[in-house]
Amino acid sequence: MNTLVLGSQWGDEGKGKIVDILSQKADIVVRYQGGSNAGHTVCVDGKKFVLHLIPSGILHDGKTCVIGNGVVFDPKSFFEEKKQLEDLGVKLDSKLLISDRCHIVMPYHKSMDVNSEHILGDRKIGTTGRGIGPAYVDKYARVGIRACDLLDKETLKEKIKNNVEHANRIYSLYDIEPLNEKAIYDEYIEYGQMLKSYIKDSVYFLNDSYKKGKTILFESAQGSLLDVDFGTYPYVTSSNPTSGGAFCGTGLPYKSLNKVIGIMKAYTTRVGNGHFPTELLNNEGDYLRKNGNEFGATT
Q: How far apart, in whole angstroms, are the C-alpha atoms of residue 78 and residue 54?
A: 8
Q: Are 15 and 52 in contact (CB under 8 A)?
A: no
Q: Which helix (H) or strand (E) holds 47?
A: strand 47-51
Q: Are 284 and 28 in contact (CB under 8 A)?
A: no
Q: Is residue 118 annotated as a catalytic residue, yes or no?
A: no
Q: Secondary structure of 69-92 in the HEC alphabet?
A: CCEEECHHHHHHHHHHHHHCCCCC
Q: How far apart, in whole angstroms, are the C-alpha atoms of residue 231 and residue 153?
A: 39
Q: How far apart, in whole angstroms, are the C-alpha atoms of residue 137 and residue 133?
A: 6
* Cα–chain center distance at 224: 15
Nearest to 202 by CA among 246, 243, 252, 272: 252
3-state secondary structure of 48: strand
Residue 127: Cβ within 10 Å count: 22
Q: Is residue 40 annotated as a catalytic residue, yes or no?
A: yes
Q: How far apart, in whole angstroms, are the C-alpha atoms of residue 55 and residue 205?
A: 16
Active-site residue, selected from the candidate residues 40, 52, 103, 109: 40
Active-site residue, selected from the candidate residues 12, 20, 100, 227: 12
Helical ranges in 103-240 per DSSP H: 107-120, 132-140, 153-173, 181-195, 202-211
Which sequence positions are flagged as catalytic?
12, 40
